[in-house]
A and B are shown apart, each in its own frame.
Chain A
Amino acid sequence: MTRFTFNVNGADTQVDAPDEMPLLWVLRDLIGLTGSKYGCGIGQCGACTVHLNGEPIRSCLLPVSQVAGQTITTIEGLAQGSELHALQQAWIDKDVAQCGYCQSGQLMSAAALLRRNAKPSDADIDAAMVGNYCRCGTYIRIREAIHAAALSVDATAKTGAQS
């Protein structure tokens, strides 16, 4: 058992955990952030996706010892305070979810995509999202929502520039 300090959703956080405990279970069971989901435990479904220093990673495979001193963002930290991320709003507007279980991971992968590519094509979206499985088959709406979010961010940026 080791004491680890890292930043989760903007807050410095300390946990006592075995070195090899995956970040997913530290978040879910020790810290109580249950938005990141367990789906397969082998990094193939993407339901556990969080950001490590802004990059999407599979938290079910990453030992907590490797995140010490670093910055983690989970689905609970995707919104800025009460202001939803453009993707979250698009997910609501497009009514993307069915059961909803994979959508935390889908959103985190999509957010990482939009950060490095503000106007992704369908092919860009497919490449970035291929590791996120949706059992309910909401892929069509995921594509639509990512495009809609990209447009809304673009529109906001233009409006901001004019004002």
Chain B
Amino acid sequence: MTPKNKTELASAISGQTSRRDFLKVTGLVGGGLALAAAAPGWTQDTRKLVGGGDLNAYVQIRPDGRIVIYSGSPEMGQGIKTSLPMIVAEEMGADWDDVIVEQTTEVDTDRYGRQSTGGSYTVFLNWQMMREMGATAREMLISAAAIVMELPREELRAQDSRVRHLLSDRSRSFAELASLAQEQPMPNKADLQFRDREDYRILGTSKSQVDSLQIVTGQGDFGIDTRVPNMLYGSYTKCSAVGGKLVDANIAELKALPGIVDAYKVPGNGDVRELLDGVGIVGTSTWAVFEARKVLKATWDERNANKDSWAGFAEFASQQGDIGAEVLYEQGDVDGALEDPNNTVISSFYEYPYLSHLCLEPMNCTAHYRPGKNGAMDHLEVWLPTQSGPRFQTLAKQRYGLEKDQLTIHVKRMGGSFGRRTSGEYICEAIELSKLSGQPVKLTWSREDSMRHDYFREGGFCRLRGAMTKDGKLAAWEEHTIGTAVDGKPSRWTGVHPSTFPIATSAHARGSLTTYPMDTPSGPWRAPFSNTHAFVSQCFINELAEAGGRDHVELLIEMMGEPRWLEPKTFRAMNTERAIGVIKLAAEKGGWGRAMPAGRGLGIAFYFCHAAHVAELAEVSVDDQGKVTVHKVTAAVDVGPIINRSGALNQVQGSIIDGYSAMAGQKITMEGGRIQQTNLDRYPVLRIDAAPEVDVHFIESDYDPTGLGEPGLPPLAAAVANAMYAATGKRVRSMPLLDAGYRV
């Protein structure tokens, strides 16, 4: 509907009326989106020159000239709330200074598309749609200007939040045109034209993220900061060994404590991603409910609880041979190359630990469950830090029988996620406490809860074998991963992936898997699989280069072979030409081949994942006492055109520091099913004094852009390990460095 008076206009501007009429967005197979050609149902008699208007689901122009661009994807520090609106603004011809970015107030994938984030996929999946949203708005503004200015459309251009006449100095502001523009026919998607890269004014520049002011003034919109009327503070205590069933707890004693409102024995459904047995406590402050846990005495039946032992897993892995229980991939004649007496064959065993996500904002959720009365429906309102609002809708339907219109979802900014906030248990726990107390409850996990009950990056082992010919060419590649199995099935985060380098480029390659049963929950952790596979594979290439008497960079380039896509059906695949491009650039910019003083070395690593080609070169010194200093990391990155240069640089810098932090000191172990590191005192993290200089170079190839939240991380550990070998002559085949006697 078109606003017919000031009240309706104000209502439309504040987003209270449904904008559903204006544009229908339909999902396509494969996650793509198309604008359905649904012209908005405006009537001619309500035309106004001055006024606000929604041009589509993502764009609204306010009467004061401010352009609201909605962000439909959750923000967790990856910068998506800034980068996606930049794409819209560019196509539209908006002046970025006029743009206000607002988080969408509803989760509605029919209207906004995916609304989940992860896999460094969000830019890739939204690039086309954001361009279409911007271009659609631009064409409608130009149509309006053509009417008002009585000029042919072809002579008009949108720029700096105005539609300008190319042949005179006449122009109209977007604000003046908005109301009329929203009555214009929606252009055909197939007819939309996008701006040429050389004409970009916003894309490729550096923009400070849209919430910078809020963050630096302490007004950031994090879930843990939620405060709503009559809210109680909650905690939820589970068995330290995952799966323990609650037998009893001193509930009466808890309820008598100061600041405690109530306490409950909560039966779970046995699903670690939904609700496990626990003791819920609600009170008047977070501190009160945390303190009450010191008084809590709970008994647990641990007969079916987690009994995992890292030491047991490590012992098992050390006994495994060159080929695993299950060969998952084999190409060419691997055995022939390994047995050829003319070849040099080497074998190495690598280890990587479990890791915690360690999001600095602990898990939390605020929930208000309002039972329907007098025939009304139940309603659930949540303030939710999550990577996927739609996934919560599914959970609410399946577990609580709540339809979308019974849910009010406030998707909150996340204080880090890295793959962690994709599960449902911290949400379900908050909902249970709200149902039991009849009030809104903010559930906050302590740091210890957050580390004890993580979905860890799983640890594992890899035995590698390789053969080099007499003239230094790779003759065979073999990797045997010793990973985990959950309920008898290999974990999703382990295994052998034929599309990964160097299996994908090797004529003779074999990958096999042996699994060990582990009940410790695992999940995606920044660049899952890649973050461990890059370490073992790219270190071993360095070992092979040495065995074959080859320069590492030359060998890498040779292994890439002819320019080609390794999986022709998708352009998210690895391209050997792009790979060579980043390897050469990192080597050149980082000064590969320079003479180094004693105790100092250079190391390089390449990895492809998340549609990104990344090479990193590390300059590292190790002193006599084993003190490691990473002086500088040079990164070369090809993710296509850069959207927000500042954000892109920040992601690569941060990925490198995060990768080094994990490599240097982090290791989660478990015995008797209990996690042994539950706070920073036993889980060392990298501090500012050990942060290296990072020099980033982008190759802005003409392919569609893709995300940078993850792919900067995987090559780092291998680059540093290879540099440490160059510096010391000692191989680094396990992480973290602190465990191997180094200091950082």
Contacts and interface: CB of A to CB of B under 8 A. Distances in A.
A1 to B, nearest CB: 7
Interface string B97-109: 0000000000000
Interface string B412-432: 011111100000000000000
Contact of B646 (A76, A95, A136): A95
Nearest to B713: A137
Given A42-B681, A100-B77, A136 B206 contact: no
B447 A40 contact: yes
B224 A74 contact: no
A99 B225 contact: no
A100 B658 contact: no
A92 B216 contact: yes
Given A35-B219, A38-B362, A42-B679, A100 B691 contact: no
Contacts of A141: 650, 653
Q: How large is the interface on A (under 10, 10 to 19, 20 to 34, 35 or more residues)?
A: 35 or more
A54 interface: no
Interface in A2-25: 18, 21-22, 25
Nearest to A138: B654
A88 B77 contact: no
Contacts of A101: 220, 222, 360-361, 415-416
Interface in A94-149: 94-95, 97-104, 107, 125-127, 129-143
B196 interface: no
A68 B114 CA distance: 51
Q: Specify the main secondary structure of chain A where it touches its partner.
A: loop
Contacts of A75: 216-218
A32 B362 CA distance: 19
Given A37-B360, A92-B208, A101-B222, A137 B655 contact: yes
B454 to A, nearest CB: 13
Contacts of A79: 217
A9 B496 CA distance: 56
A65 interface: no
A137 B656 contact: yes
B506 interface: no
Contacts of B651: 98
Contact of B693 (A18, A29, A136, A140): A140
Interface string B398-424: 000000000000000111111000000
Given A76-B218, A91-B212, A42 B680 contact: yes
A151 interface: no
Nearest to A79: B217
B209 interface: yes
Contacts of A135: 358-360, 416, 418, 658, 685
Contact of A98 (B77, B208, B216, B286): B77
A72 interface: no
Given A22-B287, A45-B680, A100-B413, A137 B661 contact: yes
B491 interface: no
B351 to A, nearest CB: 24
B286 to A, nearest CB: 6
A84 interface: yes
B689 A41 contact: no
Given A76-B218, A141-B653, A98 B680 contact: no
Contacts of B219: 35, 76
Interface string B653-691: 111111001000000000000000001110001111101
B505 interface: no
A103 B414 contact: no
Contact of B447 (A18, A33, A41): A41
A78 B219 CA distance: 12
Contact of A133 (B213, B284, B415, B685): B685
A95 B688 contact: no
A66 interface: no
Given A100-B413, A135-B360, A44 B206 contact: no
A142 B691 CA distance: 11
Contacts of B687: 126, 129-131, 133, 139
B415 A100 contact: yes
Given A29-B285, A30-B285, A76-B218, A98 B650 contact: yes
- A-B pairs, top 5 by smallest CB distance, nearest first, are A35-B218, A99-B77, A101-B415, A137-B657, A75-B218
Interface of A: 1, 18, 21-22, 25, 28-30, 32-42, 44-45, 47, 74-76, 78-79, 84, 87-88, 91-95, 97-104, 107, 125-127, 129-143
27 contacts: A18-B258, A22-B287, A29-B284, A29-B286, A38-B286, A39-B447, A41-B290, A41-B447, A42-B679, A44-B680, A76-B217, A84-B217, A88-B217, A92-B216, A95-B207, A95-B646, A97-B209, A97-B211, A98-B650, A99-B414, A102-B360, A126-B687, A130-B688, A135-B359, A137-B661, A137-B691, A139-B657
Interface of B: 76-79, 206-209, 211-213, 215-220, 222, 224-225, 227, 233, 258-259, 284-287, 290, 358-362, 413-418, 444, 446-447, 646-647, 650-651, 653-658, 661, 679-681, 685-689, 691, 693-694
